[in-house]
Each structure stands twice: as structure tokens, then as C-alpha cells.
Amino acid sequence: MRLASCVLIIQTMLGASIGADAQAGQVVLYSSNDVQTVSSVVEQFERQNPDVKVAVVRAGTGALMQRIKAEAANPLGDIFWSGGLSTIGAFQEVFEAYRSPQADAVAARYRGPDGLWLGTNTHVSVLMVNVRQVPNGTPPSTWADLADPRWKGKIAIPDPQFSSASYVALYGIRSLLGESIYARIVRNAVVVGTTSAAYQGVANGEFAAAVTMEYAAYQYVAGGLKEIKVVYPAEGTFLSPEGMALIKNAKHPAEARRLYDFLASKPTQALIFERAFRRPLRPDIDVAALSALPPLAGIKTIDLDDSRMEADRAQFLAQWRQLVSSN
């Protein structure tokens, strides 16, 4: 087993810390991406950079942000990849500005002030539908369709308290459709604790539809599961851009910058899309040529104010808990 894989598994399971005396030629990556995606990227990086070894700490974005903040006086990580841009922005004091040569390939709206972060990919909110389970054999074509009583108990929605992508989707739905329709959709839904429980539940036939992310739904389509369809609601949908950042005062800044540039590069972004269907923010990667997914320009999207959405989070989630508890 490769060194990177060993570190990945041990630190994921045991939460081991990276020692302050880590050797030069090492870079410590904090990542919330899945094991397979991280492993494939680390393998490629180490092959191209044989003088650098990557140690990986995997956890959820929120947990890693808190860890980076707690370690600010003695950083044990060098680079974070990847989490929602609004979340990275909320913790920007623990990150260090860096102007990557790859930065100009990404639209300015996905780059942090003075290069504090760089967008890498975006999630697209979709409806994942199992056509064998839909009531009356008619899949939904809009978000508002889910408010119909016939969908009661047939929709899975990940709890937005634990899923940032679900928070974006639900915040967008409420903003788009208003409180009344939004509340009817939530009351029709089965709330699940994780994002994976929603899309796996649809794939297994437990639910007819789920509010989820494009990449998660499309992996089943690409895998040949013919009953699964990806629906882009006609009213429009929402983007959840993600990115990476260098940790301030890191112990291996040169190696961290090399990994950062590698992660932002066109070949690496194309590799990640081919392996995991995570839509890159680089417009020079044609996802339609690599998959059956539409180009981003062909999807109707509705802009959400990231700073407003982050400011509204506590109030939104309090209302969410009240709405779910009254179900």
C-alpha cells in the first residue's frame, strides 16, 4: 500500500495529528474530498513530484476549519482542499494569500481577495429521480412539483445542518418559490442525516426523488443504472462552488504552493471530473466532451448572494428545525 494511502486511512480512522517536526519535502493536505478522489490526485502528484510526499488528514469541511483555527499558533496543515467558498471566506483569517499561475483560468468571482482562495469545482443542485418509483409514472420537472401531496414521503432531503450543499439548495428554493411552497416541500420530504443517504436511497429504490448534487446523481447514470435520471428544474437551479486555500504560516509553504498549482491545473481538474464528475470551474475543460452532462452555460442557474446566505444561516436553520419538528 502506498505511503499516501496509509496516511490517509490511518488519519481518517484515528484522527492522528501531524507532528510539528514533519520533514522537509512533505506537504500536509487537509481535505474533505472523498477517499478515492484524494488518493488518485495524491498518486498523480507524487508521481510528478517524487521529491515531495503528501500526508493527508480527511474530515468534513466544518471540522477541518475548526482544526485549522485551533492550530493557528502552530499550524500542522499546509493546504486545505476543498470546501464551499462561503465557508472558506468565513475563516479567511487563517489562510494565506497566493497568486497561482493557474488563477487566471478561473473567473474572478471564484477567486478570493488578494488570492486568499481559488475556486476549483462547483456542485449543481439537481433532482435525482428513480423513474420506477415516481408516483403516477411522471417525474418532477420543477422544484414546485415537489409540493404536490402525491410526493409525500417519496422525497429525500439531506439535513442542511450537516450538508452545505443541501443548505444551498433549500435556501435557494425558499428564495425562489416563497415560504408557503418551500414549507410544503419540506413537509413532504423524508429528512436524512447525510448527503449519501439521499442519493443512495434513490438508487436503491427507497425514494422516488432526492434533492442532491449533480455529480452524485450522475455517477449512477454513468454506471448504467437506467432508472436514474438527473433533472435540472425548469425554474432554475443553484451552484455551490468549492475551492482551496493555503494555511497561514504553514511549515511547508513551497511544497504547498506546488500542490496548490497542481490541483488547479487543467490536467488535474479534468482527471477529477473523469473520476468523480465534479464539475470544474475552469471553462477550458469541456465537460460535455467528457460526459453526457450539459455544459454549465446550458443550465439555467440562479445567483445567490454568498455573504447574505452565510449571514442568514443560523436563522434559516432555526426555522428549518421548527418546520421539521412540526411535521
Which residues line the annotated binding site? 215
Helix or strand holding residue 212 (H, E): strand 209-213
Burial 273-310 (b: 16+ CB within 10 A, else e): beebbbbbbbeebebeeeeebeebeebebeebebeebb
Task: For residues 97 and 126, give the distance between their C-alpha atoms in angstroms, rounded to a whole number.
Answer: 33
Task: For residues 31 and 164, give the distance between their C-alpha atoms in angstroms, rounded to a whole number.
Answer: 15
Task: For residues 217 and 220, give the distance between their C-alpha atoms in angstroms, rounded to a whole number.
Answer: 6
Provide the annotated binding site for Fe cation: 215
Distances (CA, A) of 98 to 76, 83, 117, 196: 19, 17, 8, 34
Three cell numbers, residue 305: 448572494
Three cell numbers, residue 270: 479534468
Task: For residues 180 and 223, give the distance between their C-alpha atoms in angstroms, rounded to a whole number.
Answer: 37
Tell me the CB-side half-sphere exposure of residue 75, using CA atoms within 13 A.
25
Residue 157 has φ and ψ, to the nearest 5°, of: -130, 120
CB 18 within 8 A of CB 68: no
